[in-house]
Structure 1
Amino acid sequence: MFLGSQDIQLGVNESLLDTSKVISSMVDGVMARVGAHEEIETLAKYSTVPIINALSDMYHPTQILADIMTLHELYTPAGQQPHDLDPSTTLKNLRMAWVGDGNNVLHSLMLQLPKVGMHLAIATPKGYEPHGAILEQASQNAAEFQTSLTLHHEPKQAIQGANVIVTDTWISMGQEEEKKKRLEAFAGYQLTTEMIQANGAQADWKFLHCLPRKQEEVTDDVFYSPRSHVFQEAENRKWTILACIDQLMVKKGF
């Protein structure tokens, strides 16, 4: 069953509690894209079937599965197959630079990258840093897995030594009224080949973006270059979503 925004408005015509109980009585699992993260928590609390968070304003875990799968494919040694190796082997000690907003995609990267042994350097404008509680948890994860997590306010500081450069939209859904203010705050954050190379990225650096992309975030010379793997990343959303559904069915006993 697919219920889009024209079919259902969570928490508008009926409570989330009621929606959760009704929908979960009809299906074996629910994958939900919501606004506030509290909505996914409410659905999970009252649902009688598993809930998969496909996106909330705080986290985007399914995107990060595709990102890790893409990097795992890219860094699998020649002559070996990705399915024969673990990402914690292929990705260990790689450095990712995030240049952009402290948003839901970044939050999920912060929490998950340490688990595969990756280091993360973050550059956001002042006032656009990741959520404090998530930063604290991510720092604990980094310490546990002996990786580094650093926060900067200048892109060049994050890019130094990076194997992978990542950005995302600066203006997420619901932030359209802030567009002018945000574009001013993110001046100097647009990724170009010259900027990346001038600031000390590794010679074989790679670029990711979860799409859709806007010109102010990254220029064509990066986005459409051989260093960019955004379309491989986009395809992997399919396979990682299928894997989530497969595991949901396993949990249900199918």
Structure 2
Amino acid sequence: MKRNFVDLWEISPEEGWSILQDALSIKRGIDKERYLEGKNIALYFTKPSTRTRVSFEVAIAQLGGNTIFLQENSLQVSRGEDLKDTARTLSRYVDGIVIRTDSHKKLEEFAKYSDIPVINALTDMAHPCQILSDIFTLYEVFGEDVRSIKIAYVGDGNNVCNTWLVGAGLFGLKLFVATPEGYEPSSLYYQAGEDLCKITGGSIYLTTNPVEAVRDAHVVYTDVWVSMNQDRKEEKLQALRPYQVNKELLSYAKPEVKVMHCLPAKKGEEITEEVFESYADFIFTQAENRLHTQKALLKFLFSTST
């Protein structure tokens, strides 16, 4: 049976921890196996990408596989071919597909009709590869004590925020989320996170107060306020200004706080230039870890899919 990675809840807590441990072995050079030897993996992207595209292409190559990069305007789907027909066709040519699209429903449809593993490389609703990697970054620092630290997400309740809710539930983390009224995360992802918390002992708290979220936090996480393909509405920017990660807000966190950003950053909006540069080394380690975590994810998906 093929395994997809459309949403983070498609892996179990036990599988999640196993992927993190594999990522650590891969990063340390202990595991050098070429798990994708002879495999062809397609990258089907309808949106721009720097970190996700490059990290997946390098990961696939280092695991012995080949990549084929596809853009929507180069495929017949851009001229009206049914997406399900594209999915069934590509399933006959390649061994797996990594998809970045602005429609989560389209990704789900593609996965439904595909006979090969489908990986979500970002949609309007979720970014599971990012959050899996971010949790690995924290696991690398805190070990299994990551379950006892306070993690604060401040800003827009977007696809990254949605997936953090599920990640907290899956790994039993303590997550505080601060968003303005009207910009809360998805209720579907919140409920999925809550359901997982009942199994793993994690906890999720939602608030409109950024200080409450950040107070005594070990980790403060933010993301852009305006995602790709969204209009830059002044009303939204105005609502989010109190959620900027700056020195004043960080003064409420632990002195040794770690600041995370999934990039790209719009400095001067969700985070100040000063704060970003103060934590740049950790932020770019976070970016690097996309490579190691995605290698572990690919190992998992192709070893469990039959």
* Shorter-chain TM band: 0.7 to 0.9
Paired letter, 1:62: C
Change (3 A) 1:239 1:161: same
Q: 2:132 aligns with which of 57, 65, 88?
A: 65
Contact map agreement 1:208 1:228 (CA 8 A) in 2: no
Counterpart Cα distance in 1 of 2:208 and 2:234: 20
Q: 1:32 aligns with which of 84, 91, 99?
A: 99
Contact map agreement 1:95 1:161 (CA 8 A) in 2: yes
In structure 2, the partner of 1:54 is 121
Please give the TM-score of this superposition, normalised by the length of structure 1: 0.87
In structure 2, the partner of 1:244 is 297
Q: After alignment, is 38-47 or 136-145 more displaced?
A: 136-145
Change (3 A) 1:96 1:66: same
Contact map agreement 2:170 2:193 (CA 8 A) in 1: no
Query: C-alpha displacement at 1:46, in angstroms?
Result: 0.4
Match of 1:172, SS state, is: coil
Contact map agreement 2:84 2:113 (CA 8 A) in 1: yes
**Structure 2: tracts of 5 or more residues without a match:** 1-67
Counterpart Cα distance in 2 of 1:95 and 1:213: 23
How big is each residue's C-alpha offset from its partner over 1:145-170, in whole Å with a ceiling of 9 and x where there is no partner? 22221111121111112110000011
In structure 2, the partner of 1:201 is 253
Q: 2:285 aligns with which of 210, 220, 232?
A: 232
Report percent identity of matched pairs.
38
How big is each residue's C-alpha offset from its partner over 1:151-209, in whole Å with a ceiling of 9 and x where there is no partner? 11121111112110000011011212x43222112121111122211xx3112110100
RMSD: 1.8
How big is each residue's C-alpha offset from its partner over 1:89-133, in whole Å with a ceiling of 9 and x where there is no partner? 231211111101111111111111233231111110100001112
Does 1:128 pair with 2:180? no
Counterpart Cα distance in 1 of 2:141 and 2:274: 20
How big is each residue's C-alpha offset from its partner over 1:32-64, in whole Å with a ceiling of 9 and x where there is no partner? 111111111111110011111111111110001
Does 1:3 pair with 2:35? no
Match of 2:147, SS state, is: coil
1:1-254 map, 5 Å: 1-8=68-75, 13-76=80-143, 89-176=144-231, 178-197=232-251, 200-215=252-267, 216-226=269-279, 229-252=282-305
Contact map agreement 2:168 2:204 (CA 8 A) in 1: no
Query: C-alpha displacement at 1:226, in angstroms?
Result: 4.2
Please give the TM-score of this superposition, normalised by the length of structure 2: 0.73
Match of 1:187, SS state, is: helix
Query: C-alpha displacement at 1:246, in angstroms?
Result: 2.1
Counterpart Cα distance in 1 of 2:234 and 2:288: 32
In structure 1, the partner of 2:45 is none
Contact map agreement 1:96 1:121 (CA 8 A) in 2: yes
Counterpart Cα distance in 1 of 2:150 and 2:111: 34
Counterpart Cα distance in 1 of 2:294 and 2:76: 23
Q: After alignment, is 201-210 or 225-234 more displaced?
A: 225-234
Contact map agreement 1:21 1:46 (CA 8 A) in 2: yes
Paired letter, 2:116: V
Change (3 A) 1:46 1:32: same
Structure 1 stretches of at least 4 aligned residues deviating more than 6 Å after TM superposition: none
Contact map agreement 1:159 1:165 (CA 8 A) in 2: yes
Contact map agreement 1:93 1:147 (CA 8 A) in 2: no
Counterpart Cα distance in 2 of 1:248 and 1:3: 21
Match of 2:243, SS state, is: coil
Match of 1:92, SS state, is: helix
Contact map agreement 1:94 1:117 (CA 8 A) in 2: no
Change (3 A) 1:170 1:246: same
Change (3 A) 1:129 1:237: same
Query: C-alpha displacement at 1:5, in angstroms?
Result: 4.2
Match of 2:205, SS state, is: strand
